[in-house]
Structure 1
Amino acid sequence: MKPDYWNKTAQTMPQQELKALQLKLIKQQLNYVYDRSPFYRQLYDKHKLRPEKIQTWGDFEQHVPIVRKDDIRDYQIATGDPYGGLACVPQSQLCAIWTSSGTTGWPTMGGYTREDLDIAIEAICRSYWDAGYRPGMRVMTRHGNWHWLTPITWGVIRRLQMRPVMTGINVSAIKAYKPDAFPMITTETAAALLLDAIHKAGEDPHDILGQVQIISTMGESLTDTARENIQRDWGGVQISDGGGCGESYCWFFEGGDPELPGAHYWADIGYAEVFDPDSMEKIGDVGRGELIATNLRVKGVPYIRFATEDFVDMMGDHSTHFSHPYGKILGRSIWRVNVNGNSFLPYDIERILQRFPETAKAQFFISKEAPVQDKLTVSICYDERLTPNPDTLRDKLTTVFSQDLGVASEITWVPLEVIPRPAPHKLVKFIDRTKKK
C-alpha cells in the first residue's frame, strides 16, 4: 500500500535529524519550566540541577529527575494548586482544562494553551489520517467533557473536515444518520455497551453498524481476540487501536496498513523512554517497561520526564513509512502481580478470558495479595446465559492459566457490580490488597 501522509516532512524526518531536534527542544523546555514552574524549580533546586548544564543526552539521563504522579499530588495537597505547580502560564491563558480519569489514584489536572491544543490536534491528525479518516466522513464520538481527548477530538474533526453527528451515541441516531466512523469509541468496554444497547433495542448490530468503516479504540489495551470479537460484532470494521495518558503527548495509534504492525507516536512532539518499573533503571528507548514521557513543545502545563505508569512494549523504528518509533501500551506498570517470580498484567489474563464465550467480555480483576504470591488470584464475571455449569468453566480456565502462564490460580465468580468502574468506559482490572494489610 502506498504511504499517504498528513505531514510528510515531520513524519519522515531522518532519525538523526529527529534526535537532534528532540535534544534541542528538551534543552529549551528545561530552561522554560525552571523559570516558570514552582514545582520544577523546587525539584531541580533540590537535585542541584541547573538547566543550562544539560547539553547532551548523557546529561539529561544522568541529572534530570523522574517525576511521579504522587510527587504532583503531594504538591497539590501542600499548596492547594490544582495543577500541582506545573502550570507555566496564568490560568487565563489555558483555553481548555481537563483531569485524568483517576484510574490509578487521585485525578491529576492539566490544561492546554491554544498553541498546545494546536500541537495535540496535529499529533492526532497524523495518526487518524494514517488510519484512513478523510474529509466528508460522518463521525460520532463518545467520551466525557472532562476527558483530555475531548477538545482535541473536536479539533481533529474540524481540521480533517469531517462531519460530526452532534446527537450523542445512541441507537436511533446511528440508525438515522449512518456514521462512517467513530473516531473515539474509547474502550472495548464502551464498544460492548453500544452493542448491548443495540440488542436491547431489538436491532441487528450488523444492520445498524454495517456502514461504519473505522473505529478508534483507546483506554484499555486491545488484545488480538478482542480485536477479532469487535470486528466480528461490528461487521468487519477496521480498528485503529491507540493508547496513552493525556499528560504524555506520547500517544500511540495504529495506522491503516496491516503490513505495519504496532502503533506510532510522534517523536517530534513527545519523547519516550523505557524504564524498569521496579529498579527504575533505564532500559532504553526500546524494550518493555514503564513509559517515561517528556513533552517537547507544551507550554501550558508541561510534563518533563514524567512516569506515566503505562507499561509499554517499545519497538523502535520499523519501516520506511515513518521514521518515528512505534510500540504498544500493555497496561499499567503498577497493575502487576508477581507469582513465583513471574510478573503478570491484566492484559495477560484478558487474552485468555476472551477466548471463552462465557468470559469474552473480560469483566474481571486480578488481586495482588503479597509482593510475591504462590498463585494467581482472579475475580471474574461470567455470562450467565452461556454458562450452564460455572464449576466446569472454572476448571477449564484453571487448566488454561496453568498451561499458558505456568502458574496455579484461584478463581472467584463475582457479579459485574462488584468490579470497580472509575469511569463509565473503564473497569478496574487490578486491586492491590497489600495496601490494606
Structure 2
Amino acid sequence: MDVAPSSAFESNADDPNRRFFQPDIETMSREGIRAAQEKRVLELVPAAYENSPFYRELWSAAGVDPARVRSLDDFFEMVPTFAKDDLRAYRARTGDPFSGLLQVPTSRLTSVMSTSGTTGAPELLPEIWDAAPPLPACSARDLWELGVRPGDRVIVPAGVFRGFFDTFYQEMGLVPIYVDAWIGQGAEIIAALQRYRPTYIQLIMPTVLELERLAGSYDLRDALSSLRGASFAGQPLGAALAAKVSEEWGVELFIYSSAGDTGTAWECREHNGFHLWEDLVLAENLEPEGRGTVPAGEVGELVATDLDNQAAPLIRYRSGDLVRFDPGRCGCGRTHLRQWIIGRLGDETIVRGRPVVVGEVWKAVETQEETHDGMFQIIREERVVDRLRLRVGYAPADGLDLADLGVRLRAAVTDRVGVEPEIELVPVDDLVARSSSVAKFPRVVKA
C-alpha cells in the first residue's frame, strides 16, 4: 500500500463519514492506474530475472530479454504466462520449497504463510512486511467501505488463514476478538456477539451453518444487530443461505474472492462485482487456452501479476479462475476493475459427453428443504467420466426419510443438468468436517 494502515486510519479518524479510505487511489483515473502499473512492472521484470531462478529459467526458454521490456505492451507481448502446475513441477524437480520464486534471502522474510490447499498441496507464501502484511493491508479500503472504523470491536475466526491479521487489526485501531468458529462452537460465537457487540464479523461456512443450526434457540437478528456488515469468503454462498443471512438475520453481507492468489477482491456497498485493487495487482483476462485478451464483459481466465509483493511475486500467473471484467466506474465511485468469478477452469465434468457444471448442480441441490444449504461435492477421478457421483449434505431431522430425499434429489439434478446422478447422503456437519481447509470447501474431489 502507498499509505501504512496506521497512519491512514489516523488521518481519517476525525471524519468517520468519509466514503473512501484512500480517495486518491480508489478514484484514480484509468490513465493514472496504467501509468502506476507500468512503472512497477518495469521495476519488477529485471529484478525477477536476476533474483528468481524460476523466472530466469522460464523467461530464458521463451527468449525474453528483460532489457527489451520497456512498456506494458512489451510486457504483455514478451513475458510468458505460467500456472500452478509449473510451480509444482519446479519444486518437485529442484526441491526448492518456494518453487524458485523467492527473490530475497530467507533472513529478510517476516513470515511464511501458505495457501489453503483446496486445489492441491498448499503453496508457501513468503512475505516481507513492516506494520502489516500485504494481504491483510490491502483489505483496509474494503473494511472502511463496509463501515469499520478505529475503536470498533471485530470478531474473526481463529484459524490458519493466509496472512497475519493480529497486528493489522491493531494498526487499524480495532479491537480483534478471536473466536473458534468451527463446528460445535455456535453457542460460543453467539455469546461473543452478545457480550462484545462488534461492528464486524468474518464469516466462514462452518460459522453460518452453526448459526443456522441454533436459529430456533436464539434470537439471531438481535445477536447480530450490532454489525455494520459481515464478510464471507472461501466459496460462494447458495441463494437460500444468503437470503437467510440478509433477510432473516438482518446482516449485510460483503462477499470477497481471490485476486488470482495475489490478494483479495471485495464487494462494495453496491454489491455489483468485486473490486480488484489495480495498484496492487495487474489483472488480465485472457483466453483460457491461449494468449488473446478477452473483451470486457466476456468470460476468460484471470491472469495476475503481484505489484506489492517484495519477496516472491507472481508474474503473469494463470489463476484458473474464469472471470469477466468491467473497467467502468462503479456506482460507488471507484475506478478500479470489477470482476465476477464464473467458476474454476477444469471444474466442468463431462459425463458421457455431456458437460456438467458446479453451479447447475448447486441450484438443483438447493431445491430440497433438507439440502437447501447447498453443501455437496462432485466425486470424480478424471474430468471425463461415465457417471455423475455426488456427495450431498443434509440437515438431520426427526422422521427424515433418506430414501425419499434421495429420490427427490436425483429427480431435481436430472431435470436441471440432464444427467441422472448417483447420490451419497451424509449429515451436513460430517461433510463440512471432511474439508482440509478452514477457509474453503472443495466442490470437486477424487474420493
Report if the CA contact (8 A) 1:380-1:411 is conserved. no
* Match of residue 256, structure 1, among 265, 269, 279: 269
Separation in 2, partners of 1:398, 1:280 = 40
1:3-82 alignment to 2 at 5 Å? 4-82=19-97
1:30-429 alignment to 2 at 5 Å? 30-114=45-129, 117=132, 119-145=134-160, 147-149=161-163, 151=164, 153-166=165-178, 168-169=180-181, 170-171=188-189, 172-182=191-201, 184-185=202-203, 187-196=204-213, 198=214, 203-232=218-247, 235-244=249-258, 247-249=261-263, 251-258=264-271, 261-278=272-289, 281-284=292-295, 286-319=297-330, 321-339=333-351, 343-368=355-380, 371-372=383-384, 376-385=388-397, 388-405=400-417, 407-416=418-427, 417=430, 420-429=434-443
Separation in 2, partners of 1:193, 1:140 = 15
Please state whether the residue corresponding to 1:110 is helix, strand or coil: strand
Instruction: Encode CA deviations 1:188-220: one digit per residue, 9 max, x unaligned.
Output: 343213544x569x5443343333331111110
The structural deviation recorded for 1:412 is 0.6
Separation in 2, partners of 1:274, 1:343 = 23
Instruction: Encode CA deviations 1:125-161: one digit per residue, 9 max, x unaligned.
Output: 111111222222211101423x213x1x334423432
TM-score norm. by structure 1 comes to 0.85
1:116–1:368: structure 2 CA closer, same or farther, 3 Å change rule? farther
Percent identical among aligned pairs is: 23
Aligned residues: 420
Report if the CA contact (8 A) 2:132-2:168 is conserved. no
Separation in 2, partners of 1:88, 1:36 = 5
TM-score norm. by structure 2 comes to 0.83
Please state whether the residue corresponding to 2:304 is helix, strand or coil: strand
Separation in 2, partners of 1:347, 1:167 = 31
Separation in 2, partners of 1:382, 1:168 = 23
1:340–1:282: structure 2 CA closer, same or farther, 3 Å change rule? farther
Report if the CA contact (8 A) 2:238-2:373 is conserved. no
The structural deviation recorded for 1:368 is 4.2
Please state whether the residue corresponding to 1:287 is helix, strand or coil: coil
Which amino acid in structure 2 is aligned with residue 291 of structure 1? L
1:99–1:230: structure 2 CA closer, same or farther, 3 Å change rule? same
Report if the CA contact (8 A) 1:148-1:246 is conserved. no
Which amino acid in structure 2 is aligned with residue 114 of structure 1? W
1:134–1:295: structure 2 CA closer, same or farther, 3 Å change rule? same
1:139–1:302: structure 2 CA closer, same or farther, 3 Å change rule? same
Report if the CA contact (8 A) 1:337-1:367 is conserved. no
Structure 2: gaps (5+ residues): 1-16, 182-187
Deviates more, 1:132-141 or 1:329-338: 329-338
Separation in 1, partners of 2:287, 2:412 = 29
Which amino acid in structure 1 is aligned with residue 74 of structure 2? D
Instruction: Encode CA deviations 1:309-367: one digit per residue, 9 max, x unaligned.
Output: 22323333242511111122344323221357664442332234234321122221123
The structural deviation recorded for 1:278 is 4.5
Separation in 1, partners of 2:170, 2:131 = 17
The structural deviation recorded for 1:54 is 1.9
Separation in 2, partners of 1:37, 1:286 = 35
The structural deviation recorded for 1:124 is 0.6
Report if the CA contact (8 A) 2:41-2:72 is conserved. no
